Amino acid sequence: MNETTSVWDRLDSLSEQELDALLVAAASVLAEDDQEAQQAVVMPPGPAARELRSELEGAGVEVADGAAEGLVEDEARSRELALATLRELAKQPELAAEIEQAYQERSRMMAFDFGLITGPVLLLLVLKLKRVKIKKGEGLDVEFYEAKGDVLGAVRTFFGA
């Protein structure tokens, strides 16, 4: 892995292991101070799919029957959804920097099991968030509504009704 190249520049060429590590890093940054969001991260696939459908419909996205469940079960589509969601998160510079720092820290660890954060779970996490606190020492809160709208716009096609 080239440490000088940003993970965001290599997003489309990340290995499965690297993408898994980035998803876990993103989830850890996003859910750090949000108890409800942390619960979404550990949901089993069935309840996560139902919750994802509910959150999407609540945000005005039409979800075809079985679309959320299909994404949870289809690894290739889950990867596409993860990449689309990550691309939108990367457009927030402070958030992107915080996620990349968490990713770099995880990449230096010897463990290879990063958990099971999937594209649908990351999207569910994004939908549940109200704000993200980054730059922990400086206590900078980032309102997440704009990013959430951008993520929703980018993933609408995955749920075509």
In our burial notation (b when 16+ CB lie closer than 10 A, e otherwise), range 67-96 reads bbbbbbeeeebbbbbbbbbbebbbebeebb
Pairwise CA distance, residues 41 & 128, whole Å: 11
What phi and psi values does residue 2 have, to the nearest 5 degrees? -90, 110
| CB-CB contact of 7 with 96 (8 Å) | no
Taking only the tens place, the pLDDT of each residue in 115-133 is: 567 778 777 777 776 656 5
133 Cβ neighbours under 8 A, 6+ residues apart: 32, 33, 139, 140, 141, 142
For the stretch 63-113, pLDDT in tens is 888 888 888 888 888 888 899 999 988 988 888 999 999 999 877 764 544
CA torsion sign for 125, 68, 54, 60 is positive
Q: How confident is the model at residue 136 (pLDDT cuts 50, 70, 90)?
A: low
Q: Which helix (H) or strand (E) holds 143?
A: strand 140-143
